[in-house]
Amino acid sequence: MQAKLFGSSGVRGVVNKDLTPILAVKVGLALGTFANAGKIFVARDARTSGLMLENALVSGLLSCGAKVFCLGVLPTPVLAYLTSRLGADAGVMITASHNPPQYNGIKIFDGDGTAYDEERQNKVEQIIEQENFLLADWQNLGGAFPLNESRLYIEMIHENVRLRKSWHVVVDAGCGATGQVAPAIFKSLECKNVAINAQFDGFFPGRSPEPNAESLKSLSKIVGEMGADVGVAYDGDGDRAAFLDENGVFVDFDRVLAAYAAHVLKKGKNRIMVTNVEASMCVERMVEPYGGKVVRTKVGDVYVAEAVKKFDAVFGGEPCGAWIHPEFHYCPDGILSSALLLKALEDEGKNLSEFVAEVPAYPVLRENVPCNNEVKYAVVERAGESLKAHFPRYTQISTVDGVRLAIEEGWVLVRASGTEPLLRLTVEGESLKAAESIMEKAAAVVKEVVEGFRR
């Protein structure tokens, strides 16, 4: 049996190797069949392969008789928002998010703006496998039309996020899809904003499409030199945001997530927030004093969105910077997150370094271990058994995603990447010494199991 096409974030792979125009046509045909043609929105991020894949995908949709609206280069959350706002039957985003430039992907959204869950992805995949496409007669082929309505999204944020102060913000779009919309939003919020890497460029010459402390060094320097209040950076398609404080210091993803969650829970209509199994235990430490309850899901925004809906949570977020604000929509939204974070700082009367200062900093270590896609899930299962044997004093085990072992001084999580041939190891400790010792032992165990599968 061939490997599954759809991972946790839709179809994802290296262009013209894993993800070819031929596959994109098939996804178009399958979606046109599954969604019964209908009205379908298509957008793409700034990658060099975007238009090639879009044309192929649209061709498949037209063959099924769909009415396709092409929205051009847009952030993923804008595509998701407009899909729901303007009543499309589905939205398709051509993006590989934060992956390197040679990657691309296809992510499908339902008419309510939530990403297709596993069940619906499997149905589309099944149609592709069986080539069970419902093609239209020549008289009933679909039509494709350009559509530019991103102003609706800008207006939505402008109307709902009112700032009292004119914040000085430096925005780093990383040459990704947020280059136009994000600066326009800060302008509409009357912020003094400077944008860098705001041109679309699929070679990502400014920095990696993945925002982290390493890739945001230029932004850090600019925030410091300009004396700005905050630096904001997005991933390639704008569903994630990363923040730098007023000193240009990169703000730890877990800590800002925990601080924002606590802020929302204080005034929320209920007390539930959702995060994934990878997030720091500082999230519980911050929200529990306000009567908050943390629901933990598998890693992947689809699962977080599902749980946010199911538990009617006030907030959902992953420590990669993907935050879901259910009062607006169910797609993680980096641009909206950055506007709401400024609002939270205003409400609390704090600057960003003060806002996160009260969150305990537990050292988190992450390590990737290369592992073939074909065996990665089996490796995780066996690694779980081996870890139990090597940490006999573990206090809790969870298999909601991979294997998460809680031990006295912290926890370790081993899971297979949804999009790459990797195992991801995450360790958190009460102290750096504890974290390092857990990681050293756990990484050795996992590598040994991977080796065992190679032999």
Catalytic residues: 97
Residue 235 or 306: the one with the smaller Cβ distance to Mg ion is 235
The whole-angstrom separation of Cα 41 and Cα 55 is 13
Residue 209 or 384: the one with the smaller Cβ distance to Mg ion is 209
Residue 63 or 180: the one with the smaller Cβ distance to Mg ion is 180
The two tokens of residue 223 are: 């925030």
The whole-angstrom separation of Cα 88 and Cα 84 is 6
The whole-angstrom separation of Cα 449 and Cα 447 is 5
The whole-angstrom separation of Cα 239 and Cα 178 is 9
Q: Which residues contact 32 (CB under 8 A, 6 or more apart)?
A: 40, 60, 61, 62, 63, 64, 65, 66, 133, 134, 142
Nearest distance, CB of residue 115 and Mg ion, angstroms: 11
Give the angle subtended at the CA of 423 by the CAs of 95 and 259, to the nearest 5°.
Answer: 70
Nearest distance, CB of residue 239 and Mg ion, angstroms: 4
Residue 177 or 434: the one with the smaller Cβ distance to Mg ion is 177
Residues that bind Mg ion (CB under 5 A): 97, 235, 237, 239
Residue 19 or 435: the one with the smaller Cβ distance to Mg ion is 19
The whole-angstrom separation of Cα 347 and Cα 196 is 28
Determine the residue with CB nearest Mg ion: 97
The two tokens of residue 49 are: 């392969």
Residue 237 or 306: the one with the smaller Cβ distance to Mg ion is 237
Residue 97 or 193: the one with the smaller Cβ distance to Mg ion is 97
Nearest distance, CB of residue 202 and Mg ion, angstroms: 15
Nearest distance, CB of residue 298 and Mg ion, angstroms: 17
Nearest distance, CB of residue 54 and Mg ion, angstroms: 18
Positive or negative, the CA dihedral 21, 26, 27, 28 is: positive
The whole-angstrom separation of Cα 221 and Cα 188 is 26
Nearest distance, CB of residue 321 and Mg ion, angstroms: 9
The whole-angstrom separation of Cα 157 and Cα 338 is 11
Nearest distance, CB of residue 326 and Mg ion, angstroms: 18
Going from the C-alpha of 346 to that of each of 154, 162, 174, 226, 342, the distances in angstroms are 21, 10, 27, 21, 6
Q: Which residues contact 29 (CB under 8 A, 6 or more apart)?
A: 60, 61, 63, 64, 127, 128, 133, 135
For residue 191, give the nearest of 151, 241, 157 by alpha carbon: 157
The whole-angstrom separation of Cα 85 and Cα 111 is 9
